[in-house]
Structure 1
Amino acid sequence: MGAEILGLWFSEELGRDRQKIAHLLDIIELLETKNIEHYALQGQEFNMDLNRDEIEVYAAITRGQEEFDIPEDTELYDQESISGCGLADFKSVLLSWENFIGRL
């Protein structure tokens, strides 16, 4: 499900928002130059955590499980709601996405 989660993030959270793309590229630059260690991006349906090595995209509902009234020692199944990749790979895909939406 990893590719599906990233695909949903690109299409639903990022879309054609060139300003958000530019912001993410700036954040990646700060991570690459070691000016920051971590960045969290909160979205409507999906959140993203970035660090100097990798990114992780996850459904917003998978974090903050303490808000749910579930029995003790019970965890929600979230393996199909989380995906990640290396920072360099993400940057490459982000630049490709920017190019793709520029042609639309």
Structure 2
Amino acid sequence: MEYEFRHDPASGQAKAVFSFEQQMIGPWLEVEVGHNSEMLSAMLLAIDKVESEHQHEIMVTGKEYSVTLTKNDAYIQPNTHLNGSDDLPEALAIQELHIDENCISACGLDDFRQILLSWAKFTNN
């Protein structure tokens, strides 16, 4: 999986850019996690719960995106996919990504944990 964290030169905001197959992970990190250490901790705890089989699946619904964690994978999708709306989240619309509104980005649970830890280090969370 290819991704890069960088700071926007104009705003100084942390940005996450992912390969096409996982492109929704970037806006999810920016919008839902950002510098929020509580959200980061909650996601890492949720990963631990599904890995230890205390729960088979956990869904975390944010402002614009939802994450579904299973024993092996993490799935990120815009909430518009869940409610049937045709409007993309603002973070995706601004980036003018050429995606299907029903698109779901997925990655392995171990990779997802590493992404979260790398994001925390990058944003000093």
- Assess same fold via TM > 0.5: yes
Q: Which amino acid aligns with 1:5?
A: M
Mapped to 1, the partners of 2:22 and 2:68 lie a distance apart of 16
Mapped to 2, the partners of 1:88 and 1:100 lie a distance apart of 18
Mapped to 2, the partners of 1:82 and 1:11 lie a distance apart of 17
Please identify which structure carries the higher helix content: 1
Query: Which of 39, 60, 74 in structure 2 is aligned with 1:20?
Result: 39
Instruction: Report the alpha carbon displacement of residue 78 of structure 1 after superposing the two structures with TM.
Output: 3.0
RCO comparison, higher one (Cα < 8 Å, 6+): 1
Q: Which amino acid aligns with 1:78?
A: E
What do the CA deviations read for 1:34-75 (whole angstroms, capped 9, x no partner)?
11111011111111111111011011101232x78xxxxxxx
Match of 2:121 in 1: 99
Segments of structure 2 that go 5 or more residues without pairing to the other structure are 1-19, 87-99
Query: Which of 60, 81, 106 in structure 2 is aligned with 1:41?
Result: 60
Mapped to 2, the partners of 1:14 and 1:31 lie a distance apart of 20
Matched residue count = 93
8 Å contact from structure 2 (residues 80, 101) kept in 1:
no
- The reply to whether residue 11 of structure 1 matches residue 34 of structure 2 is no
Please identify which structure carries the higher strand content: 2
TM-score normalized with structure 1 length:
0.80
TM-score normalized with structure 2 length:
0.67
In angstroms, what is the RMSD of aligned CA positions? 1.9
Segments of structure 1 that go 5 or more residues without pairing to the other structure are 69-76
Q: Which runs of 4+ in 1 moved over 4 A?
A: none
- The reply to whether residue 85 of structure 1 matches residue 104 of structure 2 is no
Q: Which amino acid aligns with 2:101?
A: D
Bigger radius of gyration among the two: 1
Identical aligned residues as a percent: 24
Mapped to 1, the partners of 2:21 and 2:62 lie a distance apart of 18
Q: Which amino acid aligns with 1:96?
A: S
